[in-house]
């Protein structure tokens, strides 16, 4: 098992502290550390959910449009699936 170095803590702190201070500011001056950390966990879970929804949003399955297959051909068909 590798022991964490000061450099490891500094790199982790670069992402942790801005989030911590953002939540602390939103909760106000009287917020306790425990409350801030609980809120960070809740906001982080919601942020992850939103990010995953945005990433997976859009065409999928039969709703995908391929280049050239989305417009009707001369017979009015939208696909060449049944052409022989």
Tokens of 68: 């050239």
Prediction pTM value: 0.61
Tell me if 39 is assigned to some domain: yes
Please say whether the beta carbons of 78 and 72 come within 8 A: yes
Among 49-53, 72-76, 78-82, the minimum mean pLDDT is found in 72-76
Domain count, the chain: 1
> Can you give the pLDDT at residue 56?
81
> Can you give the pLDDT at residue 25?
97
Tell me if 11 is assigned to some domain: no
Tell me if 48 is assigned to some domain: yes
The sign of the dihedral angle between the CA atoms of 22, 45, 50, 15 is: positive
Tell me if 40 is assigned to some domain: yes
**Distance of alpha carbon 73 from alpha carbon 70, whole angstroms:** 9
Range of the domain at 47: 29-54
**Distance of alpha carbon 11 from alpha carbon 7, whole angstroms:** 6
Give DSSP secondary structure letters for 45-59. HHHHHHHHHHHH-S-
């Amino acid at each position: 098992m590798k022991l964490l170095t000061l450099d490891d803590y500094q790199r982790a702190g670069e992402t942790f502290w801005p989030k911590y201070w953002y939540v602390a500011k939103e909760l106000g001056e009287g917020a306790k550390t425990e409350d801030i950390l609980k809120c960070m966990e809740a906001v982080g879970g919601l942020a992850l959910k939103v990010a995953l929804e945005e990433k997976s949003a859009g065409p999928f399955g039969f709703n995908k449009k391929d280049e050239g297959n989305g417009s009707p051909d001369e017979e009015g068909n939208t696909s060449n699936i049944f052409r022989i």
